[in-house]
């Protein structure tokens, strides 16, 4: 994946939208001291170029009934890796899915309603063809959830 060259205005737009994606083009233009058409054009270009993949609200999982969170560390047969990852991505409980180096091939960060839900999720994960091993680490405290990137 090739990174794009972002100028200072692009970075300023991204910083503002990461903090508050509900800003209107008019509000962006005032904050950035540029024409509204410029703000609109730049944001649309960032979307078209795939820099901005979507606009979303960050939700506290525990406030919406997802009281348990954790990570599932997976060893997956290389012949099944792509198909296994597609299945893991399809789970609504999957917040993040990372392919990694080292002892485990994939790390799945998940949320669940309760321990029974978590156990079912782990069981379903272990049943995916190609999964050789799955280690679960349940979180005990919510310390930070901030997917924004410092620019």
Give domain status of residue 33, yes or no.
yes
pLDDT digits (tens, 9 = 90+) for 10-56: 999 999 999 999 999 999 999 999 999 999 999 999 999 999 999 99
Do 84 and 134 touch, CB atoms closer than 8 A?
no
Work out how many domains the chain is built from and give that number: 2
pLDDT of residue 2: 60
- Segment 132-138 shows an average pLDDT of 97
For the domain that residue 27 is a member of, what is the CATH number?
1.10.10.10
pLDDT of residue 127: 98
Give domain status of residue 146, yes or no.
no
0.85 surpassed by pTM: no
Mean pLDDT (the chain) is: 95
For the domain that residue 74 is a member of, what is the CATH number?
3.30.70.920
Whether 109 shows a pLDDT value over 70: the answer reads yes
pLDDT of residue 72: 98
Q: Are residues 70 and 44 in the same domain?
A: no
Grouping H, G, I as helix, E, B as strand and the rest as coil, residue 49 is: coil
pLDDT of residue 146: 83
The strands making up 131-138's β-sheet, listed across from edge to edge, are 94-99, 106-112, 68-76, 131-138
Report long-range pairs for 78-81 (Cβ below 8 Å, ≥24 apart): 78/105, 79/130, 80/128, 80/129, 80/130, 80/131, 81/105, 81/106, 81/130
Give domain status of residue 1, yes or no.
no
pLDDT band at 4 (very low <50, low <70, confident <90, very high): confident
Give domain status of residue 143, yes or no.
no
Q: Domain range holding 13? A: 8-48
Give domain status of residue 55, yes or no.
no
pLDDT of residue 141: 87
Q: Are residues 40 and 69 in the same domain?
A: no
pLDDT of residue 1: 55
Phi, psi of 11, deg, nearest 5: -65, -40
């Amino acid at each position: 994946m090739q990174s794009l060259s972002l100028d200072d205005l692009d970075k300023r737009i991204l910083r503002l939208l990461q903090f508050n994606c509900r800003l209107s083009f008019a509000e962006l233009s005032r904050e950035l001291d540029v024409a509204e058409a410029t703000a609109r054009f730049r944001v649309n270009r960032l979307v078209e170029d795939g820099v901005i993949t979507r606009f979303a609200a960050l939700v506290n999982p525990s406030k919406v009934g997802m009281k348990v969170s954790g990570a599932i560390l997976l060893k997956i047969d290389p012949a099944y890796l792509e198909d296994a990852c597609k299945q893991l991505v399809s789970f609504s409980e999957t917040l993040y899915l990372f392919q990694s180096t080292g002892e485990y091939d994939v790390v799945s960060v998940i949320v669940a309603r309760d321990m029974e839900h978590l156990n079912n999720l782990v069981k379903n994960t272990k049943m995916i063809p190609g999964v050789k091993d799955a280690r679960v680490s349940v979180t005990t405290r919510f310390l930070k959830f901030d997917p924004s990137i410092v620019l």
